[in-house]
Amino acid sequence: MPCKANERYEATVTGAETTENERTGNAAITITFSTSDGEISRDFFLTQAAAPHTGKVLKTLGASDAQLGTDEFYADPLAVLRDAKCSITTIQKSGKDGRVYVEVEWVNSSKPKASTQAISRAAALFRREPLAIDTTGDDWTAGAVPPPETRW
């Protein structure tokens, strides 16, 4: 079953290779993501204009700044990106030839589930219970009244 448009998927990187467009000569890293609905690939171009976005995606998937500056990374990007966990969002696009297809629009880091403490803090906000500042860190705990600038 192919990936659907306008969906968010938890995904794993299963493929990554550096490719070159025959027409323009521009290089790209083609990354394949495995989702619950199947695999989907996207080219991330390696041009001056695309470098900020492509670099952000590659770092989200686990590449370091140091690795991005090496020939070795581009010779075998899968060695670094293999099994990276992420969240992808898809979109429906139309090609110049009228072909309709689904493409990866966004790549984000997978978000961990909220801790029990974070869940309790969130629930307390909507119960409108007074909150207190935990003096051991930046955490909030139920109990006392926070300074006026931090309340609604």
Which tens digits make up the pLDDT trace of 75-110?
A: 999 999 999 999 999 999 999 999 999 999 999 998
Q: Which of 17-21, 55-59, 128-132, 135-139 has the lowest average pLDDT?
A: 135-139
For the segment 8-52, what is each residue's pLDDT rounded down to a tens digit?
999 999 999 999 999 999 999 999 999 999 999 999 999 999 999
Residue with more model confidence, 54 or 140: 54
Cα–Cα distance, 116 to 127 (Å, whole number)? 16
Q: What angle do CA 110, 131, 140 make, to 5 degrees?
A: 40
Instruction: Give the global pTM.
Output: 0.72
User: What whole-number distance in Å separates Cα of residue 146 and Cα of residue 19?
Assistant: 55
**pLDDT for res 139:** 53
E-state strands within 22-99: 27-35, 38-45, 85-94
What is the Cα–Cα distance from 97 to 95, expressed in whole angstroms? 5
Are the C-beta atoms of residues 63 and 80 closer than 8 Å to each other? yes
Distance CA 118, CA 114 (A): 6
Q: How far is CA 111 from CA 9, 90, 98, 132, in A?
A: 12, 17, 36, 26
